[in-house]
Structure 1
Amino acid sequence: MKAATHRSMMLEECMSKTLAAATLALLAMIGGARAEAWPTGTVTIIVPFAPGGNTDITGRHLARFLEQKTGKTFLVENRPGGGGAVGTMAAVAAKPDGQTLLLGSNGTFTVNQNLYAVPYDTLRDLSPVTQVTENTHVVFVPSSSEFTTIQQLFEAIRSRGEDVAFSSAGIGSGTHISTEFMVAKAGSKALHVPYPGAGPANIAVVSGEVDFGVDAIASALPLIQNGSVRPLAVQSASRDPMLPDVPTLSETVLPGFQTGGWLALLAPANTPRETIDTINRDLAEVIASPEAVTTFSQQGMKVSVPGPDELARRISAETREVKALIDEAGISVK
């Protein structure tokens, strides 16, 4: 009788363990299926700037590559305003299901909350997915400009101050901050004229509404190639392969100076981690394709797809660094 009871207990224990293992396996299968189901339909990529700029160009490339991989529709929706704050708020308010993504710049994610009284915090109200590109910024003037070298431009900035005007993609945008930082390092001031995106800002340089502009090579390159603007210097530590004859600020007027920009994808807060990981994995795959590498490199963009946690750490660190920079340069929205 005792032996029978013992066998019964062992059988129950074995069945219990088997059931538990089967349950865990089923949950893993369900979780995997849920992650792999992305995207379930049309995906909207919010670009918080006007069409024509670096962020918009990159967003449309990503949409095309992701459509080719997934067979789903990816729409780029431009929501300009507030240096990226308007589009960011639209993403914050979206359903956290992976069907709405926000493609923004380092200005969008690390500057705005240091300049504006925005009702959101990047890492509290958004979920990092991945960085996408690193961008070299180039300083350029209208083709008809009196300035033919970066030295001449800096002489004018130092002697004329705010009589020299520059455009940007908006107050608090990455190009605004990098330009203000550059001018502050020159020991002077210049007049800032903000526009709702890099496209309109660059057109203002072409038309001569402003004296110079700073933008990512990706969006300025067509204007350089067709002769509408003249590049004077790049803000990177070394010369960029896309503009090998254009000197750096460091080798000409600001020894040791370097700055730049990056673009990243974030999703609404509380988007499931398995969905985030699936998006990250799909992006890493499409960006590593020969077509994508060629496309981005031809436009002066360096691709980079770190994990969500790495991006979160970068945003956190650079938000603190940008605050110190803003304080040093005396930048404000007033």
Structure 2
Amino acid sequence: MTSYFTPGSILLRLLAAAAIGTACLPAQAAGEAAAWPDKPVRLVVPYSPGGTTDYAARQVAQKLSEATGKTFIVDNKTGASGTIATQEVVRSAPDGSTFLVTDTTYAMLPLQFAKLPWDYRSDLVHVGEIIETPLVLLVPEKSPFKTVEQLVSYARAHPGKLNYGSGGQASSTHLAAEMFRSVAGISLTHIPYRGAGAALADVMAGQIDVLITAAPTAIAPVQGGRARALAVSGNERLATLPDVPTFAQAGLPSYQVLNWFGLAAPKGTPPAIVEKMNRLVSQVMSDPAMRDNMARQGAQHRSMGVAEFGGYVQQQVVLWADVGKRVGIRPE
């Protein structure tokens, strides 16, 4: 039997086939999300072990492993203020097996590098927040300074004599300290490290005079008598450090800085997988036991959708670009 196809019938058949293919896409996406993770998932941390970014990553990796019965591992890739790790993730297969652990420093990278090897607006998908934390101003336990007022008075009388450590040039700990220096009207010498963990070790050893770092990093050394806290950012004192005043209570009310930590995926990662990771992170970080544990560390989780968190990251880039200009940091 001979079949005859008119141009109109051919067009109708093509449109029908396209419609069937389009209808299959949601089912295919749902299948990808249901099967994920089907292999170990790496959470790439741009800094050395011991800092708050590493801490946040290990907390969420453990809970994600428990919630899914799958393997989530932390992979520390240090160097170049986080750009080495970021570039590795940008180049990774967008299959949901690799995520970048971002933090406030990620939003500050344009301050350090005039040209980055990726576009932060398009080469990564910002998945969601893990935690956000206040900052703590630390000095060595044997430091002569017991209050912010004493520290500031000495620094004003001896410009440049005191130093401060940071997790790297244009890192969150660097910009946080620069903002403190600017607000207090003092001169301090910057000593950059390859990660906040290394800077913390040296402030405990008395090798540096000042460090401003996230609360989860600072609480244990302070409680253990290995460092002294002079002030915390935010509107309230930390329940775990009740004797430490806020910056406002210490005489610097305009110092208001918080650190945030999140996840990002390579561009092209299936949206269904990105959404599933977002929901999983919110689920495990909102668990009452985890929430209480985070509170003891001075941290909290703020649940945001993928689009909302992406917008927040863009706002942070603009905010810190303005801060960098005000304190005189120029990209190289």
TM-score of the pair, normalised by structure 1: 0.90
Give the fraction of aligned pairs with identical amino acids, expressed as a percent. 32
Residue 214 in 1 paired to residue 209 in 2?
Answer: no
In structure 2, which of residues 307, 310, 316 is the aligned counterpart of residue 309 of structure 1? 307
Question: Residues 269-323 of structure 1: CA distance to partner in whole angstroms, max 9, x if unpaired?
Answer: 1211111111111111111222321232221111122111111111112211211
Matches within 5 A, 1:133-282: 133-282=131-280
Give secondary structure in 2 for the equivalent of 1:166: strand
Give secondary structure in 2 for the equivalent of 1:163: coil
Residue identity matched to 1:315: V
What's 1:115 paired with? 112
Cα root mean square deviation, aligned? 2.3
Gaps of 5+ in 2: 1-11
* Aligned mates of 1:278, 1:29 — CA distance in 2: 15
Taking a change above 3 Å as real, the CA distance of residues 25 and 125 of structure 1, as seen in their structure-2 partners, is: closer
* Aligned mates of 1:166, 1:226 — CA distance in 2: 21
* Aligned mates of 2:199, 2:89 — CA distance in 1: 24
Residues matched between the structures, number = 320
* Aligned mates of 2:117, 2:192 — CA distance in 1: 22
Q: CA deviation at 1:80?
A: 1.4
Residue identity matched to 1:284: S
Q: CA deviation at 1:38?
A: 1.4
What's 2:95 paired with? 97
Q: CA deviation at 1:139?
A: 0.2
Question: Residues 242-294 of structure 1: CA distance to partner in whole angstroms, max 9, x if unpaired?
Answer: 32221111222313321111001001112111111111111111112223212
Q: CA deviation at 1:116?
A: 1.5
Moved more, 305-314 or 47-56: 305-314
Moved more, 150-159 or 223-232: 150-159
Residue identity matched to 2:94: P
Preserved CA contact (<8 Å) 1:180 1:331: no
Moved more, 295-304 or 178-187: 295-304
What's 2:124 paired with? 126
What's 1:6 paired with? none
Matches within 5 A, 1:1-40: 26-40=24-38
Gaps of 5+ in 1: 1-12
Residue identity matched to 1:266: A
Q: CA deviation at 1:215?
A: 0.7
What's 2:46 paired with? 48
Question: Residues 114-138 of structure 1: CA distance to partner in whole angstroms, max 9, x if unpaired?
Answer: 2223222222211110011111100
Residue identity matched to 1:264: G
Greater helix share, 1 or 2? 1
Q: CA deviation at 1:222?
A: 1.1
* Aligned mates of 1:244, 1:276 — CA distance in 2: 39
Give secondary structure in 2 for the equivalent of 1:227: coil
Q: CA deviation at 1:188?
A: 2.3
Preserved CA contact (<8 Å) 2:152 2:186: no
What's 1:57 paired with? 55
Residue 293 in 1 paired to residue 271 in 2?
Answer: no
Moved more, 261-270 or 115-124: 115-124
* Aligned mates of 2:237, 2:288 — CA distance in 1: 24
Preserved CA contact (<8 Å) 2:111 2:331: no
Residue identity matched to 1:179: A
Preserved CA contact (<8 Å) 2:167 2:193: yes
Give secondary structure in 2 for the equivalent of 1:101: strand
Taking a change above 3 Å as real, the CA distance of residues 330 and 19 of structure 1, as seen in their structure-2 partners, is: closer
Preserved CA contact (<8 Å) 1:171 1:333: no
Question: Residues 87-132 of structure 1: CA distance to partner in whole angstroms, max 9, x if unpaired?
Answer: 1111111111111001121112x10012223222222211110011
* Aligned mates of 1:270, 1:22 — CA distance in 2: 23
Residue identity matched to 1:246: V
Moved more, 74-83 or 130-139: 74-83
